[in-house]
C-alpha cells in the first residue's frame, strides 16, 4: 500500500490549516484521505499533489473557487513535480539544523549563524526554511527574551540576519499588481518584527500584496497612512502585554473610526486570549499559542 501521511505532517508540508483541509474535502471533494483505525485522516501522495497545485494557484493570485472548478483530476494532472514526501524524511535533519541555528543565535556567533542560514537555503526550499527554521526559532527567541534568558545582542543578531533574508524573499515573491493588499506593522514601541515578517512572507506566497511598515509604528501615523494604502486587511503585532494594554485605547479609536471598512488582526505574545471590546469592533485576536500558518490563511480568507 502507498505511504499515507497524518494531518499534522500535511499541515507542516503545505502550510494549510486543518480547518482548510477538512473544508476542501467536505465542500469540494478535492481531497480523498483514508481513515485510520481511530478515525483519523490519512492523506495520500495524490492528496499532497492536489494541495501542491492549489498552493501554486493561490501564489498566482487565483482563488480556491477556481481550483474547485478544475476538479481533483485536473489538479492532479497539472500538479508541479516537486516531491513533497521527501520533506518528511528530511524532518529530523531540519530539526537538527534548527537547533544549531538557535544555538548560534544564543552564542551571538554571527559567522556560524550566517553559514547555517546559507546552508539551510541551499539545502531546502525557501518555504521549508521559513516555516521549519526561521519561524520557530524567532518564536523561541521571543519566548526566551521575555523570560530574560536571551540577551539583547542575541535578539538583535537574529532580527538583523533573519529580516534581511525575509525581505529578499518578500521582494522575490512579487504578488500580482491589483491583488488584495495587507498592511503589517508593530504596535507603538514594539520592536520585535520577526514573527510579523514571517506571516508577511506566507501571505505573499498566497498571492497577497504586503506592505510592511515595520517596528514601533505610532498609531497616529498608521491611521494617516490608511487612506493612501486602502488595505484589505491590517495585521498588527505586539509581544509585551504591557504594550498591548498601554496602546489598546489608541487601537480602539482607529477601529471605531474605520468600523466595517477594515479587517484587523492583532497577534503576538502580548495579545490576551480575548478582548470583547476589540472583537465587537470586528478585530480578531491571535495569541502566540495559535499557529502562524493558520493566521496567514485567516487573513487570506
Residue 83 reports pLDDT greater than 60: no
Q: Residue 11 is part of which domain span?
A: 5-77
My answer on whether 131 and 246 are in the same domain is no
Lowest mean pLDDT among 35-49, 79-93, 134-148: 79-93
Average confidence score pLDDT of the chain: 84
Domain count, the chain: 3
Residue where a domain terminates, one of 157, 172, 187: 172
Residue where a domain terminates, one of 77, 110, 137: 77
Span 42-62, pLDDT tens digits:
998 899 889 888 877 876 667
Please give the grid coordinates belonging to residue 107.
Answer: 552564542
The pLDDT value given to residue 223: 95
Query: Residue 272: CA atoms inside 13 Å, Cβ hemisphere, count?
Result: 12
* Most confident by average pLDDT, 158-167, 170-179, 244-253: 244-253
The pLDDT value given to residue 189: 95
DSSP class of 281: T
Place of cell 469592533: 281
The confidence band for 84, taking pLDDT boundaries of 50, 70 and 90, is very low
CA distance 204 to 198: 10
The pLDDT value given to residue 88: 44
Residue where a domain terminates, one of 172, 198, 231: 172
Other Cβ atoms less than 10 A from the Cβ of 267: the count is 24
My answer on whether 191 and 238 are in the same domain is yes
Instruction: Give me the CATH number covering residue 262.
Output: 3.40.50.280
My answer on whether 288 and 182 are in the same domain is yes
My answer on whether 294 and 218 are in the same domain is yes
The pLDDT value given to residue 85: 41
- Residue range 115-125: mean pLDDT, rounded: 89
Span 202-215, pLDDT tens digits:
888 777 888 999 99
Identify the residue with better confidence: 44 or 83.
Answer: 44
The pLDDT value given to residue 92: 80
Amino acid at each position: 500500500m502507498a505511504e499515507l501521511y497524518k494531518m499534522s505532517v500535511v499541515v507542516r508540508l503545505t502550510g494549510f490549516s486543518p480547518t482548510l483541509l477538512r473544508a476542501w474535502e467536505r465542500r469540494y471533494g478535492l481531497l480523498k484521505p483514508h481513515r485510520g483505525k481511530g478515525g483519523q485522516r490519512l492523506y495520500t501522495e495524490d492528496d499532497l499533489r492536489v494541495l501542491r497545485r492549489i498552493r501554486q494557484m493561490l501564489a498566482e493570485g487565483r482563488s480556491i473557487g477556481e481550483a474547485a472548478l478544475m476538479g481533483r483530476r485536473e489538479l492532479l494532472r497539472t500538479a508541479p513535480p516537486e516531491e513533497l514526501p521527501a520533506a518528511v524524511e528530511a524532518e529530523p535533519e531540519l530539526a537538527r539544523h534548527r537547533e544549531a541555528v538557535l544555538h548560534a543565535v544564543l552564542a551571538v556567533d554571527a559567522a556560524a549563524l550566517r553559514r547555517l542560514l546559507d546552508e539551510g537555503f541551499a539545502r531546502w526550499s525557501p518555504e521549508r526554511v521559513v516555516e521549519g527554521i526561521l519561524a520557530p526559532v524567532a518564536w523561541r527567541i521571543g519566548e526566551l527574551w521575555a523570560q530574560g534568558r536571551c540577551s539583547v545582542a542575541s535578539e538583535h543578531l537574529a532580527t538583523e540576519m533573519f529580516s534581511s533574508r525575509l525581505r529578499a524573499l518578500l521582494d522575490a515573491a512579487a504578488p500580482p499588481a491589483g491583488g488584495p493588499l495587507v498592511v503589517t506593522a508593530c504596535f507603538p514601541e514594539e520592536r520585535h518584527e520577526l514573527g510579523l515578517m514571517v506571516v508577511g512572507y506566507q501571505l505573499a506566497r498566497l498571492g497577497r500584496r504586503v506592505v510592511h511598515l515595520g517596528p514601533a509604528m505610532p498609531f497616529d501615523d498608521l491611521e494617516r497612512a490608511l487612506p493612501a494604502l486602502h488595505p484589505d486587511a491590517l495585521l498588527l503585532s505586539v509581544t509585551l502585554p504591557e504594550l498591548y494594554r498601554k496602546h489598546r485605547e489608541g487601537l480602539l479609536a482607529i477601529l471605531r473610526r474605520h468600523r466595517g471598512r477594515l479587517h484587523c488582526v492583532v497577534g503576538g505574545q502580548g495579545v490576551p486570549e480575548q478582548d470583547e471590546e476589540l472583537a465587537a469592533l470586528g478585530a480578531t485576536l491571535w495569541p502566540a499559542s495559535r499557529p502562524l500558518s493558520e493566521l496567514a490563511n485567516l487573513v487570506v480568507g
